[in-house]
Structure 1
Amino acid sequence: MTGSTAKLLNHLEEGPACAPPLLLGPSLGTSYALWDAVAPELSAGHRVIRWDLPGHGGSAADLIGPGATVGDLAGLVLRLADALGVERFAYAGVSLGGAVGLHLAVHHPERLTSLAVICSSAHFGGGEPWRERAERVRREGLEWLADNADARWFTPGFTVPRLVRDHREADPEAYAACCDALAAFDLRDRLAGITVPTLLVAGRRDPATPPAHLREIADAVRDALLVELPGASHLAPAQCPRAVLTALRSRLDGIPASGTAVRREVLGDAHVDRAQARQTPFTARFQDFVSRYAWGEIWTDPTLSRRERSMITLTALVAHGHLDEPALHVRAARRNGLTPEEIGAVLLQTAVYCGAPAANSAFATAQRVLAEEAP
């Protein structure tokens, strides 16, 4: 649904009303269309609520005025959440929308379940450039800024016409008030107090808020996760939606387990203890790589369930003839919820596509392991 009144930010709701709520904030000069390539995917498991800045998209321009602050914008977001009956919510925002999220995390942490700050910063380079921009926009309008929007927002050769059009059509007074808010924004001395599970996403080719700005936040916020996207500029959800979607899914439900913890959950304490006991200075970096990458990034990605990952792993081991490891992963498959019948069906599938001899060996190994587990 959409909504717009004199008191509320214009917004779009997607997804089941009973699902965990997720609010998505836009960048200055854009509308909630910034999230067009990401929000529909997120709405499969969340009640997604996208909102427009004052004077942008469908939001009324008089919701803020000269001298506005990021706190004023955060207040409008909370008013919208209250009107929709949303007490606690996950939040993700880009640039100015990300600054709103940081303000909420500092001043209203009880309202957030998680925070994603995308192509944003705890400060925006000092107040003077923003005050100068606000003054010129009030004097000349937005055409001169919209003409170079692509260069500020995207890498060369990429554009999203809808977003550039939104920039041209934004209300100059409201846009200038948002510039006032950016001019006054600086939360660097409050970052260490943020306790909300926090994801930071940086575009490596972002000229407005380069990765160093996100690293500054990551260094200050305990347990924050920083993801840098190669090839992404300032409006990453529009330019690299799949990468942003994957990053968001990793944090929407809280801090994921560490790689070592997941490795123990899947393979068992005994196996991990043996591997660590055998570790030498020569193998230490490899063991760290396995824990951080295989178990800390791949196995924690919620796109696939652990059941599905076990089935894929068993198939891959048979396909490549790694017949010394199926016993370990048959046990892991049982921990991940597969029944003996399902494991047999997976191995039968491998017989068709990977070869009967390899499947025969895997069946023998699986039968031995399952017999050991039988009461």
Structure 2
Amino acid sequence: MTEKLLNHRAEGPDTAPALLLGPSLGTSYALWDKVAPELSVTHRVVRWDLPGHGGSPAELIGPGATVGDLARLVLALADSLGLDRFGYAGVSLGGAVGLHLALHHPERVFRLAVICSSAHFGGAAPWEERAAQVRAEGLDRLAESANARWFTSGYTVPELVADHRAADPGAYAACCDALGAFDLRERLAEVSVPTLLVAGRQDPATPPAHLREIADAVPDATLVELPGASHLAPAERPEAVLAALRAHFDGLAGRGMEVRRQVLGDSHVDRAQARQSPFTARFQDFIARYAWGEIWTDPTLSRRERSMITLTALVAHGHHDELALHVRAARRNGLTPEEIGAVLLQTAVYCGVPAANAAFATAQRVLEEEE
């Protein structure tokens, strides 16, 4: 009989480093909708649902469950996917699972990010009370207060609130049992993997002091506090969370994506991301890691100089669509229309007049659109 696994969604190239994303109580892997696609350029991203949430079977967990039980389910999922080592980022209960994995299975986790979470969640009493309420009356009344617990005033993500209401009450209550029993404060100094803590400054559930406590105890940990963020920071402040995770997990590829956006613009990169498929994912990773992460970040040449060289190469090979893109990039990198014209005039000498003629037409169209 096949073992039941946590429901999950995998994105990105199979050959890229694995990155597991854990959810908060009451949500599904949709919590990561605004972050996971971008991370999947440089990682094999696997986001998972808690038992009884999203598409995960409720029977995977029962009364008296612990965070260790959830961690074992995550390891079973990783094993089924052939992931011996992985990076891990989790929110709230998902972050607690990450701390447990880093402490008890450091050979499996190469980097950890704990977001809007804690090494303890206030002890058993409040969670026993919530679990009893949910077992008795379901989740409708509790879901009505989700916005106040999860987001800053006036903000909401209806899909996540709907996930809260649709969760299995028994599995939700068992997750409450796990939160009530969780306390790693005395063992935080034993966490040996590189760790990032991300706090929402307006988070009432796990205030920044909870993340600060972890950062002070875990050797060489880094703490980032996000203004304008409450408990579900990946949904409310996805750009800020993405920047923090890239800096922590991605290295050259993460820096490359940042430079790519600065040079080519968000709209172009967003379109490229939207078109990404399993067939093109490795190529996108190659571009991010090598073209933008190594070449364009090399300080030997300035971005102005790199734009001039790139324009010349594109003219020489007749890549007019790319030329239009890089004329816009050259303007972002500080070249004036006169300097772009001088570069194209130089190409007339060394690449040929017909090539330069077509390039001038493309550049003129782009510059007129810019004006």
1:212 and 2:209 matched: yes
RCO comparison, higher one (Cα < 8 Å, 6+): 2
Structure 1 Cα separation of the partners of residues 111 and 291 of structure 2: 18
1:108 Cα shift? 0.4
1:311 Cα shift? 6.9
2:247 aligned residue: 250
1:238 and 2:239 matched: no
Match of 1:180 among 177, 180, 183: 177
Deviations 1:343-372 (A, max 9, x none): 9999xx68951877xx9xxxxxxxxxxxxx
In 1, are the aligned partners of 2:151 and 2:236 still within 8 Å (CA)? Answer: yes
- SS of aligned partner of 2:50: coil
In 1, are the aligned partners of 2:296 and 2:303 still within 8 Å (CA)? Answer: no
Identity across the alignment (%):
69
1:310 Cα shift? 5.5
1:308 aligned residue: 296
1:54 aligned residue: 51
Name stretches of at least 5 consecutive residues in structure 1 with no aligned partner. Answer: 257-301, 317-329, 331-337, 360-375
Structure 2 Cα separation of the partners of residues 39 and 54 of structure 1: 20
1:114 aligned residue: 111
Structure 1 Cα separation of the partners of residues 21 and 85 of structure 2: 14
2:220 aligned residue: 223
Aligned residues: 288
AA matched with 1:169: A
- SS of aligned partner of 2:84: coil
AA matched with 1:131: E
AA matched with 1:196: V
TM-score (norm 2): 0.71
In 2, are the aligned partners of 1:66 and 1:180 still within 8 Å (CA)? Answer: yes
- SS of aligned partner of 1:228: strand
AA matched with 2:239: R
Structure 2 Cα separation of the partners of residues 218 and 303 of structure 1: 34
- SS of aligned partner of 2:9: strand
1:353 and 2:331 matched: no
Change (3 A) 1:242 1:312: farther
Superposition misfits of 4+ residues, deviation over 4 angstroms: 253-256, 309-313, 340-346, 349-352
AA matched with 2:164: H
1:308 Cα shift? 2.7
Name stretches of at least 5 consecutive residues in structure 2 with no aligned partner. Answer: 254-289, 314-325, 343-371
1:170 and 2:146 matched: no
Change (3 A) 1:303 1:49: farther
Structure 2 Cα separation of the partners of residues 71 and 177 of structure 1: 13
- SS of aligned partner of 1:92: strand
2:369 aligned residue: none
Structure 2 Cα separation of the partners of residues 149 and 351 of structure 1: 47
Structure 2 Cα separation of the partners of residues 67 and 105 of structure 1: 22
Structure 2 Cα separation of the partners of residues 209 and 122 of structure 1: 10
Deviations 1:284-329 (A, max 9, x none): xxxxxxxxxxxxxxxxxx996364345798468xxxxxxxxxxxxx
1:126 Cα shift? 1.4
Structure 2 Cα separation of the partners of residues 47 and 309 of structure 1: 24
Structure 2 Cα separation of the partners of residues 137 and 312 of structure 1: 61
Aligned ranges 1:15-94 → 2 under 5 Å: 15-94=12-91
Structure 2 Cα separation of the partners of residues 255 and 166 of structure 1: 36
Change (3 A) 1:66 1:351: closer
AA matched with 2:237: C
Structure 2 Cα separation of the partners of residues 12 and 139 of structure 1: 32
In 2, are the aligned partners of 1:197 and 1:255 still within 8 Å (CA)? Answer: no
- SS of aligned partner of 1:110: coil
AA matched with 1:51: W
Structure 2 Cα separation of the partners of residues 25 and 60 of structure 1: 16
- SS of aligned partner of 1:199: strand
Structure 1 Cα separation of the partners of residues 335 and 97 of structure 2: 54
Q: CA RMSD in A?
A: 3.1
2:186 aligned residue: 189
1:17 Cα shift? 1.1
Deviations 1:160-217 (A, max 9, x none): 1110000000000000000000000000011001110101100000000011000000
